[in-house]
């Protein structure tokens, strides 16, 4: 999965990459839990292994959702999927250090 930042000098993206080995197992576990609903709600079911995954991440700006509890965000999306991409959610993760403070699908 490619993780892109909003700008070339975003220290948040560097922090995500530096902590990725510890973050990924927690992100993956939460993502799998949230994906069960997507797989169940589509007919025919979405075949996620055939999808391309991308993400963007970086430092949370002040005064945005969850910025009082988390300092980083990660948004994961599926692209080039057999299901209509417009119907698929993106998954937002709000991270503090190596802990996920909150995660949710966004339709």
Beta strand ranges found along the chain (DSSP E)? 2-4, 52-59, 72-79, 90-96, 99-106
How many domains, in total, are found in the chain?
Answer: 1
pTM of the model: 0.84
Q: Sorting pLDDT into bands at 50, 70 and 90, what band is 4?
A: confident
Q: For 80-98, what is each residue's pLDDT tens digit? A: 776 665 677 899 999 998 8
Residues 6+ apart with CB under 8 A from 19: 97, 98
**SS3 of 76, please?**
strand
pLDDT (average), residues 53-82: 88
Domain that holds residue 28: 2-106
Q: For 73-84, what is each residue's pLDDT tens digit? A: 999 988 777 666
């Amino acid at each position: 999965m490619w993780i892109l930042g909003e700008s070339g000098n975003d220290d948040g993206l560097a922090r995500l990459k530096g902590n990725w080995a510890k973050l990924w197992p927690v992100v993956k576990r939460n993502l799998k839990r949230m994906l069960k609903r997507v797989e169940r709600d589509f007919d025919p079911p979405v075949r996620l292994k055939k999808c391309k995954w991308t993400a963007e991440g970086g430092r949370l700006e002040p005064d945005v959702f969850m910025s009082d509890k988390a300092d980083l965000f990660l948004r994961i999306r599926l692209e080039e999927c057999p299901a209509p991409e417009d119907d698929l959610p993106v998954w937002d993760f709000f991270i503090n250090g190596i802990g996920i403070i909150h995660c949710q699908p966004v339709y």
